[in-house]
Amino acid sequence: MIQHHLILRVVTKLLVGTIIVFALYVQFHGDFSPGGGFQAGVIMAVAFIIYGIVFGLEKVKQVFPAWIVHKMVALGVLIYAGTGVVSMFLGYDYLDYGAFSPHHPTHGQHWGLLIVEFGVGVTVTGVMVAIYYAFAGRPPAISDEDW
Amino acid sequence: MAVEPHTVEHTARTLMDHLPVLQVLIPFCTGPIIVFLGSRRLAWPLAFVASALSLIVSLMLLWQVKDGGYIAYTLGGWEPPLGIEYRIDAANAFVLMLISLIGTITLPYALISVADEIKRRDHTLFYACWMLCFTGLLGMVATADAFNVFVFLEISSLSTYVLVAMGADRDRRALTAAYDYLIMGTIGATFFVIGLGMIYMATGTLNMADIADRLADQGANRTVRSGFAFVIVGMGLKIAMFPLHLWLPKAYVFAPSAVTVFLAATATKAAIYVMLRFTFSVYRPEFTYATNTLEMIFLPLAVIAMFSASFVAAFQTNFKRMLAYSSVAQIGYILLGVAILNETGLTAGIVHLFNHGITKALMFMGVGAFVLRAGGSFYAQIAGLGRQMPLTGAALVIGGLSLIGVPGTAGFISKWYLVQAAFERAPDNPMYLAIAVSVVLSSLLAVVYVWRAFEAMYLMAPATDIRAKEAPLLMLVPMWVLAIACIWFGIDTDLIAGAAAQAAAGLFEGSQGMLEMKGAVH
């Protein structure tokens, strides 16, 4: 068990929550201000990655198991594509968000954008964490005994 | 601030209106669904249902456009050139049909072959990747937006690298093959996107019809010409146009058998379609530089490919590698048809696109069955297997004959059109007589390399005393469907040649112009 780096551990625990809240802020203000799903996803993933770097891969995998990461990658794409499929079922073109509010297409565009950006956020979080897991979980090519 | 709600005129879209996007959307959604469910049992059935549905959609599309005209679809209701447009005409409906047909026929074959060659825990992801590759190929053919082509090209390429690398369970060299393909493919995609950047700089638009209109207005300048060069070289790499074909033999040899079947019949074909689209609809053959490229670069390279790749194929000791080199030669025939630059030639190219697709898929399926039973595809390993597995052997013989171009098989039809196209140009340029002769001569080389495989299959003494069992039914049925298709399309030429002639006529007319938006104001 790593017990050194007291300051790092305390600061990380303080920061993780803030980072996640900031990610959600960037996520849901994406259609009004700079930001959106991709940036939010990266920030969200950063919260888990820093936790993993400081406390170890095992600990972060207890919080965020690899199988959930796996599903998130697919889920985000399905949210995005699914939004388009819903608009198709409402009688509009694929991804025509006007469908969600026929009398006021601009509102429909806002809602649609919010949903697909959420999908982007989910996938990007998943992919970023998956890349981190893949690199961090990789055993060294030559172990120390082999020399 | 309260905004008055207002009613917008809108006619509800029906399922038929959605066909162009459904073609791409069905496999696209299936990929993530397979990953999300994560069930090994459901992966294959889902993939198969998605492929079958896309086949139905592609046939419905082909039916609508086979007599000319086009179907346009605007994504998100955004009007092109700002929005992305999908546009289906005879040319791409034909290629969409080929891709979904091969996808649907190959999947039943893949079930056993994949179970044999790939670790169980990877099966779910394998079929998800397969679906993404399928999506990418369909997408780059269906779209009418130049940048969208690049996006789908990347989707298909990235998943292809993974699929090729999955051969590593059988042979570790699959990893270097996939890596080589990744480097070459990425260079190709980069060249393509640099070309698009130049076109965008010159025209300020990415919609193909819009680019065509603006290029016609401004004529040639250096930016436009270099854009053309970059697009052609980039696509040339993906097509495996000689001498940019070095990635192909390795990738085909070391990929899992089912992947080789699928890639050989579809991946290069989709890239050829994109190149045709850029040469004929976006740029016009009337531009002298486009004509020069076709006549002075494509034509000689195609002829060299026909001979040199066939020659190399004749010296191979591995059935799969022989077929891979033969693919490079056959791509030469397709490009030769295009470079002859008349409607018959283009028809020949498109007919051969299809005929070579089904023939090569059949051949690779047969080799895959040998790999399943004998563990490898070297001639020494498959010696005598044709006699021990008579049905697989017979299907391979039909495929081999079609590859040579024996009358009564599909391969003959494409070579017939090719020779005819060359003769049409012969009166004003005797060089084309030599080209017609070269088509026939290079077919003789095909006789040599196909004969070597037959010899190993039937005449050589078996390597071991153990008798190989016939391939399982699930592999035989797709093989024989393709074998019968090879003969059917060699006798009944109306269907394929008719559709190809319509596609060629459409391409020769050039751009169909921008989409006129009617009705609803968006």
DSSP B281-298: IIS-TTSHHHHHIIIIII
Contact B499, B401 (CB under 8 A): no
Residue B491 domain flag: yes
Q: Which residues of B touch A81 (CB under 8 A)?
A: 25, 28-29, 32
| Burial per residue of A65-76, b for 16 or more beta-carbon CB atoms within 10 angstroms, e otherwise | eeeebbbbbbbb
Contact B28, B135 (CB under 8 A): yes
Angstroms from A103 CA to nearest CA on chain B: 5
Structure tokens at B264: 């050989």
Could you say which DSSP state residue B121 is in? Answer: G
Q: Which of A77, A94, A106 sits opposite B32 (nearest CB)?
A: A77
pTM assigned to the model: 0.92
Distance CA B466, CA B211 (A): 63
Structure tokens at A11: 């600061």
Shortest CA distance to B416 belongs to which of B360, B337, B301? B337
- On the question of pLDDT at B521 being above 50, the answer is no
CB-based contact (8 Å) between B86 and chain A? Answer: no
Distance CA B378, CA B171 (A): 14
Q: Do B35 and A70 touch (CB under 8 A)?
A: yes
Of A76-80, B152-156, B392-396, B461-465, give the lowest mean pLDDT range: B461-465
Q: Which residues of A touch B27 (CB under 8 A)?
A: none
Distance CA B520, CA B522 (A): 6
Distance CA B78, CA B87 (A): 14
Residue B412 domain flag: yes
pLDDT of A147: 59
Give the other-Cβ count within 10 Å of A26's Cβ.
23
CB-based contact (8 Å) between A10 and chain B? Answer: no
Angstroms from B519 CA to nearest CA on chain A: 13
- On the question of pLDDT at A15 being above 50, the answer is yes
The complex's ipTM works out to 0.88
Shortest CA distance to B354 belongs to which of B102, B68, B120, B139? B102
Residues 6 or more apart whose CB falls under 8 angstroms from that of B417 comprise B337, B344, B345, B347, B348, B351, B352, B497
Contact B323, B251 (CB under 8 A): no
Residue B184 domain flag: no
CB-based contact (8 Å) between B39 and chain A? Answer: no
Distance CA B378, CA B393 (A): 15
Residue B405 domain flag: yes
Could you say which DSSP state residue B87 is in? Answer: E
Q: Which of B13, B28, B29 sits opposite A91 (nearest CB)?
A: B13
pLDDT of B1: 43
Q: Which residues of A touch B3 (CB under 8 A)?
A: 104, 106
Distance CA B336, CA B340 (A): 6
Structure tokens at B60: 């419905």
Q: Which of A67, A71, A79, A95 to mutate to test the interface with B (most CBs of B within 10 A)?
A: A95
CB-facing half-sphere around the CA of B75: CA atoms within 13 A: 22
pLDDT of B4: 54
- On the question of pLDDT at B9 being above 80, the answer is no
Q: Do B522 and A77 touch (CB under 8 A)?
A: no
Residue B343 domain flag: yes
**pLDDT, tens only, A16-74:** 999 999 999 999 887 777 778 899 999 999 999 999 999 888 899 999 999 999 999 99
CB-based contact (8 Å) between B32 and chain A? Answer: yes
Phi and psi at residue A36, to the nearest 5°: 135, -170
pLDDT of B320: 92
Q: Which residues of B touch A102 (CB under 8 A)?
A: 7-8, 10
- The confidence band for B516, taking pLDDT boundaries of 50, 70 and 90, is low
- What average pLDDT does range B356-374 have in this prediction? 92
- Nearest chain A residue to B13 by CA distance is A91
CB-based contact (8 Å) between B521 and chain A? Answer: no
Contact B272, B284 (CB under 8 A): no
pLDDT of B7: 55
Distance CA B333, CA B338 (A): 9
Phi and psi at residue B112, to the nearest 5°: -80, -45
Angstroms from A131 CA to nearest CA on chain B: 16
- The confidence band for B517, taking pLDDT boundaries of 50, 70 and 90, is low
pLDDT of A92: 87
Residue B499 domain flag: yes
Q: Which of A73, A91, A95 sits opposite B75 (nearest CB)?
A: A95
Distance CA B256, CA B245 (A): 20
pLDDT of B497: 87
Angstroms from B78 CA to nearest CA on chain A: 8
Give the other-Cβ count within 10 Å of B52's Cβ.
15
Residue with tokens 């697009």: B231
Q: Do B18 and A88 touch (CB under 8 A)?
A: yes
Residue B480: what residue type? Answer: W
- On the question of pLDDT at B126 being above 60, the answer is yes
Shortest CA distance to B491 belongs to which of B380, B397, B416? B416
Residue B98 domain flag: no
Q: Which residue has the higher pLDDT, B293 or A132?
A: A132
Q: How many CB pairs under 8 A join A and B?
A: 77
Residue with tokens 């819009």: B210
- On the question of pLDDT at A127 being above 90, the answer is yes
Distance CA A38, CA B98 (A): 36
pLDDT, chain A, mean: 88
Start-to-end CA distance of chain A, whole Å, equals 27
Structure tokens at A118: 């959420």
CB-based contact (8 Å) between B74 and chain A? Answer: yes
Angstroms from A11 CA to nearest CA on chain B: 35
pLDDT of B522: 38
pLDDT of A144: 61
Q: Which of B10, B15, B121 to mutate to test the interface with A (most CBs of A within 10 A)?
A: B10
Residue B332 domain flag: yes
Q: Do B32 and A85 touch (CB under 8 A)?
A: no
As beta bridge partners, residue B87 has: B72
pLDDT of B519: 42
Which range of residues forms the domain containing residue B348? 298-513
- Nearest chain B residue to A104 by CA distance is B5
**pLDDT, tens only, B498-515:** 888 888 888 888 777 777
**pLDDT, tens only, B420-433:** 999 998 888 888 89
Distance CA B397, CA B395 (A): 5
Contact B103, B3 (CB under 8 A): no
Number of domains, chain B:
1
Q: Do A93 and B73 touch (CB under 8 A)?
A: yes
**pLDDT, tens only, B222-276:** 899 899 999 999 999 999 988 899 899 999 999 999 999 999 999 999 999 999 9
**pLDDT, tens only, B321-331:** 999 999 999 99
Contact B261, B108 (CB under 8 A): no
- The confidence band for A108, taking pLDDT boundaries of 50, 70 and 90, is confident
- What average pLDDT does range B108-114 have in this prediction? 91
* Burial class (CB within 10 angstroms; exposed 0-12, middle 13-18, buried 19+) of B85: buried
Q: Do B10 and A91 touch (CB under 8 A)?
A: yes
pLDDT, chain B, mean: 89
